[in-house]
Chains A and B, each alone.
Chain A
């Protein structure tokens, strides 16, 4: 799990998470910029439903060049912006 502490990897993952949420949910720039690690996502953001989760996943895959498997723990990943960042960081290619 050492990779998760890599600040560069975390930074890339956070940028991907922010851009994917902004694109998939059509967030205004100021709301995308205001996303912080403790910002809650699923159940808290009005734009976020299970359909938009599918769009966010697709955007993450396109930006990160990865495929997120079917049984990934999405409930956990979409709990907060920080959780989504960690979810992506763990799947980024080196």
Chain B
């Protein structure tokens, strides 16, 4: 089942472009809270394969473009932490989502969906994402011979200047929110999947860290999508 719908869903005053997969009659609707920045681009194919595998298991998924990202019509100024959290909250409510599935930086936003059960894949702290963005920018500057260090970029943010990094404009406010953000603590019944045996995981899935690499091995990525889908389906059924 490889079909999907592209829909604009109105929620909380936002018009959110969403990829909707799975049967319309699905008993469980899962709101995917996507990874942030460049990690989302690299994870897009995994999420498509995961959505297809979940659809085969009778589970519908909704994958939104957060304000200011993807096909959302807002520009850079729509990339705003409070707007992202409000969009997750409003979309979860509008869909009547049974649970959230947060991937990487999505775990910094999934608690906005309230009491809904949370499944997380490789959650990450905001400070680590910010460091990655600034390092990527510093690396591209170094390749261009400019030699700008992460510390210099941090200083420019602190002085109120927006920074362009890995194709995204990072405002000082967004950088500050990111730096302070940690995944909300898991509650009883929530589940976290990790690729490796790292602290905080309920299950170790193995497989490629697709959010790191521009070209993950396709066969391993498909295997990861299937393993994830099986674990998510079992988790949902046990609730």
Q: Interface residues, chain A, CB within 8 Å of chain B? A: 19, 23-26, 28, 49-51, 53-55, 57-59, 61-63, 65, 67, 70-71
**Contact call A26/B213, Cβ cutoff below 8 A:** yes
Let me know if B196 and A24 touch, CB within 8 A. Answer: no
Are B213's CB and A25's CB within 8 A?
A: yes
- How far apart are A76's CB and chain B's nearest CB, in angstroms? 16
Once bound together, how far apart are the Cα atoms of A58 and B208, in whole Å? 15
Bound CA span A59–B209, Å: 9
Contact B128 A61 (CB under 8 A): yes
6 closest cross-chain pairs (CB), A and B: A26-B213, A23-B209, A54-B135, A50-B139, A70-B150, A24-B212
B79 to chain A, nearest CB (A): 21
Q: Please state if A51 and B212 are interface contacts (CB–CB under 8 Å).
A: no
- Decide if A26 touches B215 in the complex (CB within 8 Å): yes
Whether B132 lies near A54 (C-beta < 8 A) is yes
A23 near B212 with CB under 8 A, answer yes
**What DSSP secondary structure best describes chain A's contact surface?**
helix
How far apart are B148's CB and chain A's nearest CB, in angstroms?
A: 11
Question: Is A70 within 8 A of B149, CB to CB?
Answer: yes
**Which B residues from 78 to 94 make CB contacts under 8 A with A?**
none
| Interface residue from A28, A58, A71 paired with B135 (Cβ < 8 Å) | A58
- The minimal Cβ–Cβ distance linking B178 to chain A, given in whole angstroms, is 14
Cβ–Cβ contact B131 & A58, under 8 A = yes
Chain B count of residues within 8 A CB distance of the other chain: 25
CB of A66, distance to nearest CB on chain B (Å): 11
Q: Are B128 and A58 in contact (CB under 8 A)?
A: yes
Query: What 0/1 pattern do residues 160 to 184 of B give for CB contact below 8 A with A?
Result: 0000000000000000000000000
**B12 at interface by CB-CB < 8 Å:** no
Whether A51 pairs with B131 at a CB distance below 8 angstroms is no
Contacts beyond the supplied A54-B138, A67-B131, A71-B149: 7 A-B pairs with Cβ under 8 Å: A51-B140, A51-B143, A54-B132, A54-B136, A62-B128, A70-B150, A70-B151
**Min C-beta distance of A39 to chain B, whole Å:** 19
B139–A53 contact, CB under 8 A? yes
A50 and B209 in contact (CB under 8 A), knowing A19-B196, A62-B198? no
Which A residue sits closest to B125, measured CB to CB? A62
Known contacts A50-B139, A55-B213; A26 and B131 CB within 8 A of each other: no
Closest Cβ of chain B: how far from A48's Cβ, in Å?
12
Chain A residues in 8 Å Cβ range of B132: 54-55, 58
A-B residue pairs in contact (CB < 8 Å), sample of 15: A19-B196, A23-B213, A24-B209, A24-B212, A25-B213, A26-B213, A28-B217, A54-B139, A58-B132, A59-B209, A59-B212, A61-B131, A62-B128, A65-B199, A70-B151
